[in-house]
Amino acid sequence: MQVRRGAGATYWGILVIAVVVTGLVTFSVTSGLSRITTPTTSNSNQALIDSLLSQNAQLQKELAAATQSSNSTFQGLNSVKIYQAVSAGVVTVQGTESSGGTNTTVLGSGFVVNFSQSDYVVTNYHVVRGVSGVTVTFQDGDAYPATVVGSDGYSDLAVLKVTAPASEFHPLQVVSSSQLVVGQPVAAIGNPFGLSGSMTVGIVSQLGRTISESLAGNFAIANVIQFSAPINPGNSGGPLLAADGAVVGITAATVVSSQGVGFAIPSDTILKELPSLVTTGVFGLHPFMGISTVDMNYQLAQLQKTNYTYGVLIENLTSGGPAQKAGLRVGTQSAVVAGQNYLIGGDIIVSVNGTKIVNGDSLSSYLAEYALAGQTVVLQIVRGGQVSTVDLVLGTRPPAPSA
């Protein structure tokens, strides 16, 4: 039994212009191409028809040229060149999971990175969690045993050391994901359903998402990249690539029954955690505020008697946690909005260190990208209709699950 974990073309349309001349000109579309049928016409209309035929022929030429030139490109991303340059650095991660006396083969993806003059394989933590007998198979088909040297359930990352000759390793370049923008073309390479070396392309659909994973406990995985390149089980752990072939993320999840909605851990998280994962086996600097919040909206703003329709409303504080120590407050009055129960009257966080907090996703993403445990952040809050600032010393989360 096998389990697969995890998760260019430019589209052109023919513009058909319908010009009615005493009912004599009709258009039909066959196999995506415009075809003009012309009944017997008077000489006065023939010139117009000839002109339309000429325009249509020119459109067909332009379409053919565009289709040919876009066979290997997607919005400026040359998929052929990217694949040729980086595919050798993408690997298959395999192992065995035992449950109830049954052994199951687990398949995922990974990619080679170089750190401190040594080669490692980066993959998702959920690919190797609870898995024994881990092996890594390179593009040439050669497979070697591997060990997990570091993992972080809070970011769904794991680093493997592979017992293989140096000639097998083709490290990929990992760059900062901070410059990504919505609409930017990206490519994903991995092993969906065990089909090694598969490539798909798409765009960055949104940034700063949060996703929930059981391996992260009660904490969301924040600052996640949403993208449209199709991924499937087995893609988990593979690289998400920019137009220049550099790694900007690691594909981590897809939505069941969705089309074109995938998620990737940003490369900035990899760059931040890799040194610690390699040298200590863990990453222990995830910030912790000790709050439970809900997103503000117009209805809650009315109940709170404020004009701030954005931000997060604090509904609960961890006893003895950083937020409670900083003097933040929760509400004491229950309210129902659109069938949902809320606890109102508490503080509303509207910015952190001068960065606007729109909702819970933006708060989690800001902390994941810019903050570490032990740092002091300045919160702008709305309390009783008044705006003020609070200094908060971020705490440390409890240890994340390990492989």
Place of tokens 């998400």: 240
Q: How big is the chain, counted in residues?
A: 403
Q: What is the pLDDT of residues 36-78, one digit of tens each?
A: 223 444 555 566 556 666 666 666 665 555 444 445 667 778 9
Half-sphere exposure of 223 (CA within 13 A, CB side): 23
Q: Which CATH architecture group holds 287-396?
A: Roll (2.30)
pLDDT at 256 exceeding the cut of 70:
no
Q: How many CB atoms lie within 10 A of CB 214?
A: 10
The CB density around residue 346, as the number of other CB atoms within 10 Å, is 26
pLDDT band of 283, cuts 50, 70, 90: very high
Per-residue pLDDT at 1 exceeds 80: no
Both tokens of residue 33?
Answer: 């191409």
- pLDDT attached to residue 44: 53
**Total-model pTM:** 0.77
Write the class of the CATH domain 1-7+71-283: mainly beta
Measured between alpha carbons, how far is residue 353 from residues 316, 370, 382 in Å?
22, 10, 15
Indicate the pLDDT class of residue 4, thresholds 50, 70 and 90.
low
Residues 6+ apart with CB under 8 A from 291: 314, 316, 317, 318, 321, 323, 328
Residue 394 near residue 379 (C-beta atoms within 8 A): no
pLDDT at 307: 94
pLDDT the model gives residue 383? 95
Catalytic residues: 126, 156, 236
Q: Mean pLDDT highest for which of 15-29, 44-58, 62-76, 318-332?
A: 318-332
Domain boundaries defined on the chain: 1-7+71-283, 287-396
Residue 68 or 307, more confident = 307
Backbone angles phi, psi at 302, to 5 degrees: -65, -45
Q: Which of 129, 175, 180, 193 is nearest to 156 (CA)?
A: 129
pLDDT, residue 401, reads 60
Using an 8 Å Cβ cutoff, are 174 and 246 in contact? yes
Q: Decide if pLDDT at 17 tops 50.
A: no
> What pLDDT shows up at residue 43?
55
Q: Could you give the C-alpha distances from 156 to 26, 122, 243, in angstroms and in order?
A: 58, 11, 25
Least confidently predicted of 17-26, 176-185, 219-228, 306-315:
17-26
pLDDT of res. 338:
86
Residue carrying structure tokens 């930017």:
184
Cα separation of 42 and 18, whole Å? 18
pLDDT (mean) for 203-219: 80
Residue type, 364: S
Q: How far apart (Å, rounded) are the C-alpha atoms in residues 46 and 44? A: 6
Here the tokens at position 181 are 């923008």
